[in-house]
Amino acid sequence: MPNLKDLKNRIESVKSTRKITKAMQMVAAAKLRRAQEAAEESRPYTKRFNAVMAGLAASVGGSDSAPLLLRGTGSDQTHLLVVMTSERGLCGGFNSSIAKLARQKAEELKAAGKTVKILTVGKKGRDSLKRDLGDCYVGHVDLSEVKRVGYVNAQDIAQDVLGRFDAGEFDVATLFYSQFVNVVSQIPTAQQIIPASFEANEGESDGAVYDYEPSEEAILADLLPRGVATQIFAALLENGASEQGARMSAMDNATRNAGDMIDKLTIEFNRSRQAVITNELIEIISGAEAL
């Protein structure tokens, strides 16, 4: 049984930890509000942009005149996995769930005989995936010095990805991130960005017929690279909100666990102190009786 001094020191240590986790929870709550607003405000634009792109892509079809970003290279042998995680930890299973999804995808592709390349955005994803898939690692984007993620950061990542595609380094690119639902729910998501892929309902409109000037192919050639940056930016915003939500939830659980541990240690401390007092009383009484 630990002595009273050890128990007292441990109680003080846990109390200090509880103060830290409570402060981190409050900071995450403040950041979550801004991040959630940014993610939600970006969704209508992204949805409408994808709807326009889907309509253009449907009119062009799989013709040879379609841009390469839409029709692809004609092969799916080499896959680039763009894994987006956070730069900092202490956010529960946020990073591990994204890395797990990317790892599963990489293993499936390898089992099918495909070549896998991994580009990471965020230190935690790099550290997690490099242990198991170090031979697939081709690059990393560091956002640790960025105070607030903006569209310019998404453009830099998009230029990196598009440059690799133009150089023929891969055939298919898939984006991995966490979609924000609420504070306790974030969904790890895999989204193909090259060749451009659109859901069937994204091209639905009010039935109007549009004439495009210049041609659909020329418009797509200009908008598809911007579409890659838009999808990456939307994923960054979703990731930002998901990270703060996961951190807020994790710190809340840590604060509660620290409180429970303090209660248990306090009970143990009181019992140990009572035992010491009882022993001292027994010694005094025994000494008095011996006289």
Q: Report the distance separating Cα 85 and Cα 100, nearest Å.
A: 11
Could you tell me if 231 and 43 are in contact, meaning their C-beta atoms sit under 8 angstroms apart? no
Q: Report the distance separating Cα 191 and Cα 179, nearest Å.
A: 11
Omega of the bond leading into 195 within 30 degrees of 0 (cis): yes
What element of type H or E holds 177?
strand 172-182
Q: Report the distance separating Cα 263 and Cα 284, nearest Å.
A: 32
Each residue of 233-256: b (16+ CB within 10 Å) or e? Answer: bbbbbbbbbbbbbbbbbbbbebbe
Catalytic residue of the set 24, 91, 129, 228: 91
Q: Which residues 6+ apart lie within 8 Å of 36 measured at CB? A: 180, 241, 244, 245
Cβ burial of 29 (10 Å; 0-12, 13-18, 19+) is middle
- The reply to whether 91 belongs to the active site is yes
Please state the separation of Cα 171 from the chain's center in Å.
24
Q: Mind giving me the DSSP string for 13-26? A: HHHHHHHHHHHHHH
- Count CB atoms within 10 A of the CB of residue 288: 8
- Which sequence positions are flagged as catalytic? 91
